Chains A and B, each alone.
Chain A
Amino acid sequence: MPYDSIVCVKQVPDTANVTAEVMKADGTVNRAALPAIFNPEDLHALETALEIRDAYGGTVTAISMGPPKAAEVLRDCLYRGTDRAILLTDRRAAASDTLATSYILSQAIRTIGRYDLVFCGRQAIDGDTAQVGPQCAEKLGIPQITYLERLIELSGDTVRVRRNVGHGWEIVEAKLPVLVTVLETANRPRPPAAKRVMRLKRARVQPELAAEVRNEMPQAPEEQLAAEVQCRAGALSRRGLLLEQWMLDDISADLARCGMAGSPTKVHRIQAIVLKKEGYSEIPPTAEGARHLIHELVVDRTLG
């Protein structure tokens, strides 16, 4: 029996590999300088969906919410084998917290319509909240199964999953449709397929075309730019290379629930972590040094 899956993916700054180049002089991280990558756990969510399609048939649709640049991760999804990729990009969605984000994603999923399974990575490495998956499930009115480490079986309208519960695991079963969040231990994501890369590398969303045209023809008047974008979009569309782009109006979103307006949590203050340069007592790497150190710890009652 074929199953239709939707996978939510996110482009994130690579916060795990903060190198010296992105450190500012004051010891804080220059966030804008971090490379943008495919959120690691989302790749495992995608692989889970692709494996289901390989085994049972059906379709895989990838959706991503973000700026036009996020089309990069959607192209990556297509290279790895998704049937369809949709970018949700709209300035009015900027500054959405997890509640607003999950509302927008759930509206997009409703707009897609038919699905058996929704997959998300457990969490994104820029926020580490792990909230968007469960909140999407709630908004869609379907059960959530978080922390998938193994998809055991799909049979008829039932899925059976082994999930990690921190200090062990449990196997649970649920009727479809369900939303599942996936851990890195679940599988090994397949690489992009060379043939698909060749065929799809020119795929673009319209805002990317606009940026390209503006870059190539900096002197041209607005009407000419617009006409050129239309022309290129038409050409891509005829070859099936114009990526789908949805705005909030396309998913019947209530604007009061999107972006800043729809976000109850507000960032009050941001403090960059600064590498403290306070002094420490340097102990020489000698037997005498070790004795001195242990003595100090006894004297100040750190060691009883």
Chain B
Amino acid sequence: MMEPNRQGEVWIFAEQEDGALHDVVLELCGKARQLADELKVKTGAVLPGDGVGPLAAKLIAHGVDTVYAVDDPRLSHYQAGSYARVLTTLVEKHRPQIVIYGATALGRDLAPRVASTLRAGMTADCTDLEISDVTDAKTQQVHEKLLLQIRPAFGGNIIATIVNFAQWPQMATVREGVMPMQPPNYTRTGKVVRERVELSPADLALRLIERHTEPRKVNLKGARVIVAGGGGVGSKENFKLIYELAGAIGGAVGASRAAVDSGYIGKEHQIGQTGTTVRPALYIAVGISGAVQHRAGMEESAKIIAVNKARDAPIFSVAHYGIVGDFKQVLPMMIQALKEKQ
């Protein structure tokens, strides 16, 4: 078990696949920079893989001071055992005070295993991280500059703030799309430290037989405008209207879980706690009642328009503009108004 090390760096896990960094890593870079500046320490990134050296420059441009690169052909494909060995070895060697991971399928496979080996705390799926002094309610002891790990829990019905007094490093996975990505600065300087980590056969217990991945076709996270349909849209046919409005306004198409579960649209469009979290400039919710699980994934949007027949639908509670009416009449009128604008 590791004692608190207040001089320790703020680290991120640099998830990459086939030589490309995951978007969430760049989001984490900005957050790590901010946390490290508050703590007056440096940032670090752990970058395991095969031939990953070229990615270091991008990490540095996004705010990383030291890239710990672990290049090994056996790390070309991710598996929990080998990557966890890399993380635990480097954490024990350099003793960072914070380690954050993207809450991707991979990050959520890896991070708990690392925490278990280190016997450290681990908070899943955070939507915010802050630095603050915290008083232990039991002992009245003040712990300076702890990492507040903020996450929805209980199906999104509560927001919990988790802290870690002892058994460091303080570790968390962070939901994709919730931390703003800062623009890169390629004049920034940083250093690259090449690390070697011993791997045993037990660390490489999985044999990859076949792999099939697709680039994410629906870029919800990057969209400035999202038009999302819910269960109230009623059918796959009716979803065409959602696509038409999205086309007219230049936005992406999203959906609530109810619409996905009813088979109106594919799961890759799902927004909410179990789907993608988005914060576009404009979010138009059509026929979405606005369950907490959905609102958790979109309420940070700069502008929200709700179109719903039911005046008491919870979605109106987060909306800036509300239209109480039948979307089958309202959407064509909006499309028409957009055409007139041009």
Chain B residues numbered 86-135 whose CB sits less than 8 Å from any CB in chain A: 104-106, 108-109, 111-113, 115-117, 119-125, 134
Q: Are A290 and B330 in contact (CB under 8 A)?
A: yes
With contact pairs A165-B105, A168-B212, A277-B317 given, residues A99 and B121 touching in the complex (Cβ less than 8 Å)? yes
Is A143 among interface residues, defined by CB-CB distance under 8 A? yes
Is A21 among interface residues, defined by CB-CB distance under 8 A? no
Inside 8 A of B120's CB, which chain A residues have their CB?
99, 264
Q: Which of B108, B117, B123 contacts A130 (CB 8 A)?
A: B108
Pick from A137, A265, A273 the residue with the most CB of B within 10 Å.
A265
B105 and chain A: residue at smallest CB distance: A166
Interface majority SS (helix, strand, loop, mixed), chain A:
mixed
Chain A interface residue bracket vs B:
35 or more
Q: Nearest Cβ in chain B — how far from A95, in angstroms?
A: 12
Q: Are A31 and B154 in contact (CB under 8 A)?
A: yes
Residues of A that sit less than 8 Å from B by CB: 13, 15-16, 18, 28-29, 31, 97-99, 102, 125-135, 137-139, 141, 143-147, 160, 164-175, 178, 263-273, 275-278, 280-287, 289-291, 293-298, 300, 302-303
Q: Which of A131, A137, A296 contacts B122 (CB 8 A)?
A: A131
Is B314 among interface residues, defined by CB-CB distance under 8 A? yes
Q: Are B215 and A145 in contact (CB under 8 A)?
A: no
In the A-B complex, list the 6 residue pairs whose CB atoms are closest, starting with the nearest: A285-B325, A15-B155, A168-B213, A264-B121, A166-B105, A264-B167
Q: Which of A16, A173, A265 contacts B206 (CB 8 A)?
A: A173
Inside 8 A of B293's CB, which chain A residues have their CB?
16
Report how many residues on chain B are interfacial, defined by Cβ distance under 8 Å: 88
Q: Are B108 and A266 in contact (CB under 8 A)?
A: no
As a 0/1 sequence over residues 321 to 333 of chain B, the CB contacts with chain A under 8 angstroms (1 = contact) are: 1111110011001
Q: Are B336 and A290 in contact (CB under 8 A)?
A: yes
Q: Are A175 and B205 in contact (CB under 8 A)?
A: yes
Q: Are A135 and B326 in contact (CB under 8 A)?
A: no
Inside 8 A of B202's CB, which chain A residues have their CB?
141, 143
Q: Are B329 and A285 in contact (CB under 8 A)?
A: yes
Is B80 among interface residues, defined by CB-CB distance under 8 A? yes
